[in-house]
Structures are given as structure tokens and as C-alpha cells.
Amino acid sequence: MTDTPQETLANLLTETRRFDPPPALAATANVTAEAYEQASADRLGFWEQAARRLHWGTDWEQTLDWTNPPFAKWFIGGKLNVAYNCLDRHVEAGNGDRVAIYWEGEPAGDERVVTYAELLTEVKKAANALTDLGVVAGDRVAIYLPMIPEAAVAMLACARIGATHNVVFGGFSVDALSGRINDATAKVVITADGGYRRGKPSALKPTVDESVALAPSVEKVLVVRRTGEDVAWTDKDVWWHDAVGGASEDHEAQDFDAEHPLFILYTSGTTAKPKGILHTTGGYLTQASYTHHAVFDLKPESDVYWCTADIGWVTGHSYIVYGPLSNGATQVMYEGTPDTPHRGRFWEIVEKYKVTLLYTAPTAIRTFAKWGDDIPAKFDLSSLRILGSVGEPINPEAWIWYRDNIGSGKTPIVDTWWQTETGAMMISPLPGVTSTKPGSAQRPLPGIAADVVDDEGNSVPNGGGGYLVLREPWPSMLRTIWGDDQRFIDTYWSKFDAMYFAGDGAKRDDDGDIWLLGRVDDVMLVSGHNISTTEVESALVSHPKVAESAVVGATDPITGQGIVAFVILRGSVEPDDGLTTELRNHVAAKLGPIAKPRQIMLVPELPKTRSGKIMRRLLRDVAEHRSLGDVTTLQDSAVMDLISQGMDKGKPED
């Protein structure tokens, strides 16, 4: 007797709700359904056309060199300057007075308005200051800053002179910062005395001082004065206001090869040495610019765009700095947290600046839902016309909450899938084309060859689940892992022949649309069924009493793994003795008995990284009563103590 083939990934959750594009938006959309046809007929020709949206000093001779996979080269022979494309050309076109950045500091009344002409001047001066400090094309510069305009200025100044920047999130530790500085052998570090977080100054300079002491490659530290607090000073330190403030405003941008290294960005690396993801110039800017234009339907003359990410993550690189500015966008940049000084802070900012395009993370959306519908209802959000989601799969009910409470029940949602490694969006609805489904990223964008495959690398049929792969190179793809080509091959190209795989599971629904199911590391094997944590979490969040959940598989002597769920209730809900049974039965009704959690823990908060991603690894440690692993990348390490105490008191249910 032969065994029945086991599904690569079970497909349990169904979704029948559909939302068509608003007719008025569809009628004026930047990108129509024709783009899919063009890309399908001539993929390289499609990307050539997208690249023509930029200014090239020297045209390319060949669009793609894929003779030595997985090492791609795009727009071979072409030359351009990223900062020129983001600034100079807009000013030269007569748009220097357009606002580039509305900056909102966390302290009340702390704000700046920066036009394109002013931003260009600051970038020219910063480029001259870096040159005076000895930085030349090809050098690496580490950036460790809060969310202030100088962060964008620093990145663009590096791009202008051909220095490769390495931005590190301003909350990382000495070990994390020094490790990244050393791996990239950075010559200069750009930092600040500190920033504001949750109502008080948060120092950055002391972390930099300790890190630089461990980093022999660093020659100078350029320091922005933000909080005005006293800082220690060494002979390597230079004040930004002295070096940049005193620099010349004259600087001519030099063109660089399309494959010139633009930036290195390190993955979090909680369990291994962080990977320095290398992105280059021409292909990266082409795709970041085109996708921002297409997916947000940006009208630079009238839209106000706000991406709530930090520049320390790839979302901040592609969709705060390079994508929006290359398109001449006016955008909001906010320094602080969404609950300072009150929980309506985001919606206050949307109302103040009449934000039209908003891009945020599912973890933030679920948090807003937990805080209550009444908070956003106090603000005028009628300016919003497109909402975006990024960072992880979004639960259908969180998607609906976002549309109803932030988008007035009518605003299209673009749920985007992409990664640090892909550089730019890969799968997303197009707001003027796609009939959206809550929770689905829908289809690969034009020019992208994404697929869902089984263990053998064969495409799964509609209704099946498996591994998300990319079958063809794309312009903004990572070129390698900095200093480690073999790790690049082993990490991303070894599981399937000639296909990129970075660890995400996905399924196709009956229409062929793609649903992201989280990391395959988070898949649970329950009684022979591979079940995604994302689907069980979505089922839990669909219960009206649940705001957020995280699910892990814990070793079980009978089923192999048992499903353990950690649940945060909505703010007004008081738990009772029957609630966990009610939630278990709700999951069974949604997904089937196989997905019924063995145990449900009610918790006040979940362990999240500073980028907002749930650390299920730590929850697995708790569920299996192991000592906790590394918690240094957590936003709040104290939350694990609360969860562990609750777990010790709880017991598995029948």
C-alpha cells in the first residue's frame, strides 16, 4: 500500500468577501490591467520602460545579465545618480517649492517643513561634509539615527557621492551596532545625541561610543544635535551643525554604474550572524520607484503620503526615502510612537496633514483595534484614499477593521508582500485594478514571476499550499550577502533548482490569488497536517472579543505537535471561565477540528521585535517550558516574564 501524498501546507481558511476598486480611482489610476499584459508579453521590455521613468546619465547596453545565476546584473553599462533622481531633477523641473517632508517630532509643537529645494541644499552640504571627512565612492558609512529629516539627508548624501550606507535601527544594542559596523568596515558613523521616545529623550551617542571603541575601521563620528542633552566627546566626533552647516551648497552629482553598491542592510539575526543584504543602484531604484508609483497610485501634485516605518528597516529605505522622493512625493515623517502623548496620535497626524496615502504594519493595525474603535472615530480621516499594509500577513478581520474604521468603509487596501532581500514590493493588489480579498496579497505585480510550489518545486494547483518562490530575477533583488557569496547561495538558492526561496509559506485560493502564511519555520505539524500559524491566528482574530493572537506548535506525545495560542483580548472585554473554550470551538468552526488549539493563554501583550514582528520562537520556548533564548531584540523584554508566569499557572485543555 502506498502512502497518500501529504499536503505541503494545509489550506483551511476561506474568504468570500470582495471589494471592487472605486470607479473614480479606477478611471484615473496610474497603472491599469494593461501593465500585466505588457509584462507578460515582454518582461524585460516592461522593466526597461519602468527604468525610463528615471534620469540616466548614460543609457544601458543590456537590460539583464543572468549568465551566472544567482548573480544578476541589471541595466548593464547604464549610469545614474540616485540622489539626483530623488532631488535635483524635481527642482530643475520647477518643483523646488513643493514640500518633500512634513516632519512631526514626538514632543508637541516640534515640527519642520522641508521643501525639495531645501532638501537638495542640505544633501549637497552633507555630501561635501562627508567628502571633507575623507569619504569617497565605495566607502561604507553607518547611520544610526532617530526618525528625523537628517536621516534621509544622510542616506541621500551617501548615495550622491557613491558611498554605501549601512543604516542600523536606532534602538539596537552595542553588540548589534558594532557587529554591523565591523562587518561593513564603515569609515564614518552618523548618529545623534538622541531622539524622543514615549515622551522623553532616548540617548544614542553612548551606544555609538561603545560600538566605535570596538570598531577600528571608524575614523569619524558625525553627530546631529537633537535632544540637546550632554554627551561624551572624543577626537573622532564632529558636530553635524558644524560640518554640514559650514559646508558649501555647491555639489554636482556624479553618475555611478547601475551595479554600484547603494546600501547594505542587515537582517535582524536573532539566532545567527546577521546577513548584510547588498542592494545596488539602477535596478533597485527602478523597482522601488515604479512600485511606489503603481501600488499607491501616487499623484505628486495632490497626494500626501505617510509610511509609518523607521528608516532602520527596508520599508523605510524603499518607501520613505528612495521610492517616494524619486517620484516627487510630499510625505509625512514622524519621530515617535503611536501612543505618545495619546493613543490617537497617528490619526491626529493624518487629520493635521490631510494624509491621502497611509502605509503601516498589521501589528499596528491590530493594536489600534485593541485600543478601540472610538479613538480613530474622533478624528477626520476623510482625506485618506488608499491604505497599505506591510511587514507580515494581515488577518482578514484586521484588514476589515482597517478598511471600516480608518478607510470609512470605502478605501482600497493594498496588502504588500516583499522582503529586505527583494528590495521592493513583489506581490500586491493594484488599487485601480484589483478586486481585493481581506487578507490576500493577491497577485504578483507586473514583471514579477512569483509561484507557490510543493516540496519537489512543482507549482501547486489552485486551492493548494506550499512554498513561495520567485522563478525569474527582478531588478531590485539583492545581489549577494556582503562578503559572503556562498552564504547567499546556500540561504536563498539551494532548496529549489534555479528558484529564489526565502522561507515564506503561501497558498493559492480557488481563484489563483496568493495568501501569505508566514515563515515555514512557523508551520505546525499536527496529526500529519502542516498547518500555518497565520491561519489559526486569523481564525482567532475573527472572534469579536480578540484583538491579537500568536500561535505556536508545542511538542505533543499524541499529535506530534499541539497548537498553543496566546491571545490578547479587546480593551473592553472581561474574560470569564468559558472564554477559552468558546475561542477553541470558534477556531474549530472556522478551520475544522484539526486546528483546534490544545491550549489558549490570555496575555496582556506579545513579544515583538522593534520592527513589530512577533517572536514566536520565544513563545515556543514558553509553551515547551524551556529557558528563554536571546531577548535583546525585543521591544519590551519584561513581557516575557508576564507570559511565562501565566503559562506556569495554565494547563492544557482536553
The CATH number of residue 604's host domain is 3.30.300.30
Q: Establish if 636 belongs to a structural domain.
A: yes
* Pair 551, 432 in one domain: no
* Pair 486, 533 in one domain: no
* Pair 488, 529 in one domain: no
Query: Is 416 assigned to a binding site?
Result: yes
Distance CA 488, CA 482 (A): 9
Query: Is 340 assigned to a binding site?
Result: no
Q: Would you state the pLDDT for residue 635?
A: 58
Query: Is 469 assigned to a binding site?
Result: no
Query: Is 625 assigned to a binding site?
Result: no
* Pair 131, 240 in one domain: yes
Q: Which of 506, 538, 571 is the last residue of a domain?
A: 506
| Mean pLDDT on 557-576 | 85
* Pair 411, 527 in one domain: no
Query: Is 392 assigned to a binding site?
Result: yes
Q: Rounded to a whole number, what is the distance in angstroms from the first to the last CA of the chain? A: 34
Q: Which of 475, 506, 537 is the last residue of a domain?
A: 506
Q: Would you state the pLDDT for residue 5?
A: 40
Q: At 600, give phi and psi (nearest 5°).
A: -125, 125
* Pair 459, 550 in one domain: no
| Mean pLDDT on 445-457 | 96
Query: Is 111 assigned to a binding site?
Result: no
Q: Establish if 4 belongs to a structural domain.
A: no
Q: Would you state the pLDDT for residue 1?
A: 33
List, as one string, the DSSP characters of 363-403. Answer: HHHHHHHHH-THHHHTS--TT--EEEE-SSPPPHHHHHHII
Distance CA 346, CA 585 (A): 36
Query: Is 107 assigned to a binding site?
Result: no
pLDDT tens figures, 207-238: 999 999 999 999 999 999 999 999 999 999 99
Q: Which residues contact 612 (CB under 8 A, 6 or more apart)?
A: 361, 363, 364, 391, 635
Distances (CA, A) of 329 to 119, 152, 159: 13, 14, 19
Q: At 240, give phi and psi (nearest 5°).
A: -55, -45
276-280 and 480-481 beta bridge pairing: antiparallel
State whether residue 297 is helix, strand or coil.
coil
* Pair 431, 548 in one domain: no
Q: Would you state the pLDDT for residue 642?
A: 64
Query: Is 620 assigned to a binding site?
Result: no
| Mean pLDDT on 259-283 | 86
Q: Would you state the pLDDT for residue 641?
A: 67
Q: Would you state the pLDDT for residue 12?
A: 65
Angle separating helix axes 282-295 and 43-51, nearest 10 degrees = 90
* Pair 500, 428 in one domain: yes
Q: Which domain holds residue 571?
A: 523-649
Q: CA 442, 445, 447, 453 torsion: positive or negative?
A: negative
Distance CA 562, CA 570 (A): 25
Query: Is 197 assigned to a binding site?
Result: yes
* Pair 230, 285 in one domain: yes
Query: Is 385 assigned to a binding site?
Result: no
Q: Establish if 7 belongs to a structural domain.
A: no
Query: Do 266 and 166 touch, CB atoms closer than 8 A?
Result: yes
Which residue has better confidence, 383 or 575?
Answer: 383
Q: Establish if 517 belongs to a structural domain.
A: no
Query: Is 541 assigned to a binding site?
Result: yes
Q: Would you state the pLDDT for residue 2?
A: 34
Query: Is 315 assigned to a binding site?
Result: yes
Distances (CA, A) of 531 to 10, 354, 442, 584: 5, 42, 20, 16
Query: Is 584 assigned to a binding site?
Result: no
Percent of the chain with pLDDT over 90: 76
Q: Which of 456, 477, 506 is the last residue of a domain?
A: 506
Split into its structural domains, the chain has a count of 2
Distances (CA, A) of 290 to 59, 294, 313, 558: 18, 6, 20, 51
Q: Establish if 241 belongs to a structural domain.
A: yes
Query: Is 543 assigned to a binding site?
Result: yes
Query: Is 479 assigned to a binding site?
Result: no
Q: Establish if 549 belongs to a structural domain.
A: yes
* Pair 284, 174 in one domain: yes
Location of C-alpha cell 545618480: 81
Query: Is 407 assigned to a binding site?
Result: no
Distances (CA, A) of 270 to 138, 546, 631: 29, 29, 8
Q: Establish if 85 belongs to a structural domain.
A: yes
Location of C-alpha cell 472581561: 574
- Of 569, 438, 605, 452, which Cα lies nearest the Cα of 520? 452
Query: Is 471 assigned to a binding site?
Result: no
Query: Is 198 assigned to a binding site?
Result: yes
* Pair 489, 531 in one domain: no
Cβ neighbour number for residue 281 with a 10 Å cutoff: 26
Distance CA 222, CA 165 (A): 14
pLDDT tens figures, 132-145: 999 999 999 999 99
Q: Average model confidence (pLDDT) for the chain? A: 91
State whether residue 352 is helix, strand or coil.
helix
| pLDDT reading at 653 higher than 60 | no
* Pair 528, 501 in one domain: no
Distance CA 332, CA 320 (A): 9
- List the beta bridge partners of residue 453: 459, 467
386-389 and 413-415 beta bridge pairing: parallel
Q: Establish if 168 belongs to a structural domain.
A: yes
Q: Would you state the pLDDT for residue 647?
A: 58
The CATH number of residue 448's host domain is 3.40.50.12780
Grid coordinates given for 412: 482600497
Location of C-alpha cell 523584554: 637
Which residue has better confidence, 173 or 527?
Answer: 173
| Mean pLDDT on 114-126 | 98
Grid coordinates given for 609: 521585535
